[in-house]
């Protein structure tokens, strides 16, 4: 596979790296590999697995995990057991930063590079089935301050934080893993509430941002944020001037996969995303990689902006490591 692998983030099916997994990683050559619970027995095994993944020939790659605390924690051995962010968010800013640092140190020892945290969503809908206590606060300013304290702790420990889920998943009443949520709030409310923590994170140059599989009709009536050029390029990149790496949430989630995972991946790239998360399906990841390879040969200009952003990002955040 050529450079298109730099646009892909994938996962593996089990706790041991098989010959088939090695072949898959060599063929796709992804920028990122995401570790899930099915990859975990204990801390020593995870550390060994990560070392094996790094030993597979190919370009340098990032190892990532969803380790927020509370109900979103893929690891239980070798890392501090953090409470839900809503509980942690009640603590002083310095204590939250230290919690992020302690977690970051543990993740760094295991060999990770990226934590898909902190949640920058505002806990704006008490009936939200997917965010809720994962958010630091129902107050936009406090949510931003507390989330960024956590991010600082991760960065101090050598772990790259990823803010999520742009432009805000806190006001949904559906779970985008199984349905397509819609946030009908007017743009003025989104700007005064949902966008506040993201704006703060962008001002502090958070290195990674993950999009939401949510429709915001006041910005784009047709498609969810991940697939929307109006959201990713128009709002995130141009209006808010974000210069970091923009990742899609998992493209196998029902909110975007119903039209086909390959189609969702291409729409994400066209929207302005740099990283395509195609998780828990090697066949789908290969299908996306093959289609991107075709596009690179036939219309390379379509992928050039994302590939250039990835290259610049790598030089800035990982070039000296």
Nearest C-alpha neighbor of 117 from the set 82, 142, 77: 82
Q: Is 81 exposed, middle or buried (0-12, 13-18, 19+ CB in 10 A)?
A: exposed
For the record, the structure tokens of 35 come out as 């570790």
Output the CA torsion sign for 252, 39, 154, 80.
Answer: positive
Are the C-beta atoms of residues 276 and 211 closer than 8 Å to each other? Answer: no
Query: How do beta strands 245-247 and 114-115 pair?
Result: unpaired
DSSP-derived secondary structure letter, 238: I
Query: How many of the other CB atoms lie within 10 Å of CB of 320?
Result: 6
Nearest C-alpha neighbor of 117 from the set 150, 74, 77: 150
Nearest C-alpha neighbor of 10 from the set 286, 262, 264, 212: 286
Per the listing, tokens 């992928």 go with 303
Query: How do beta strands 67-69 and 72-73 pair?
Result: antiparallel
For the record, the structure tokens of 278 come out as 């195609």
Active site residues: 177, 249
Measured CA to CA, the distance from residue 17 to residue 20 in angstroms comes to 8
For the record, the structure tokens of 211 come out as 């999009």
């Amino acid at each position: 596979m050529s450079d298109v692998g730099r646009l892909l983030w994938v996962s593996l099916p089990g706790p041991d790296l098989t010959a088939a997994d090695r072949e898959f990683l060599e063929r796709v050559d992804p920028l990122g590999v995401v570790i899930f619970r099915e990859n975990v027995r204990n801390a020593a095994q995870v550390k060994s697995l990560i070392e094996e993944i790094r030993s597979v020939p190919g370009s340098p790659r990032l190892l990532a995990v969803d380790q927020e605390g509370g109900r979103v924690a893929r690891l239980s051995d070798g890392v501090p057991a953090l409470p839900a962010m809503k509980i942690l968010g009640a603590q002083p800013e310095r204590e939250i930063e230290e919690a992020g640092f302690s977690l970051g140190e543990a993740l760094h020892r295991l060999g990770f590079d990226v934590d898909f945290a902190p949640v920058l969503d505002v806990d704006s809908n008490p009936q939200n089935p997917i965010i809720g206590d994962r958010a630091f606060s129902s107050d936009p300013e406090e949510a931003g301050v507390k989330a960024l304290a956590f991010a600082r702790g991760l960065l101090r420990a050598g772990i790259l934080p990823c803010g999520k889920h742009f432009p805000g998943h806190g006001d949904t009443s559906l779970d985008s893993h199984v349905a397509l949520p819609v946030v009908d709030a007017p743009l003025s409310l989104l700007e005064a509430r949902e966008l506040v923590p993201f704006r703060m994170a962008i001002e502090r140059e958070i290195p990674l941002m993950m999009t939401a599989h949510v429709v915001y009709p006041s910005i784009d009536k047709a498609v969810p944020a991940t697939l929307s050029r109006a959201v990713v390029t128009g709002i995130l990149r141009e209006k808010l001037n974000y210069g970091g790496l923009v990742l899609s949430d998992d493209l196998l989630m029902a909110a975007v996969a119903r039209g086909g995972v390959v189609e969702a991946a291409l729409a994400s790239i066209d929207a302005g995303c740099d990283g395509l998360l195609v998780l828990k399906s090697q066949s789908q990841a290969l299908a996306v990689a093959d289609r991107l390879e075709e596009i690179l040969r036939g219309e390379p200009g379509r992928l050039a902006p994302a590939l250039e952003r990835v290259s610049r990002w790598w030089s800035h955040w990982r070039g000296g490591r």
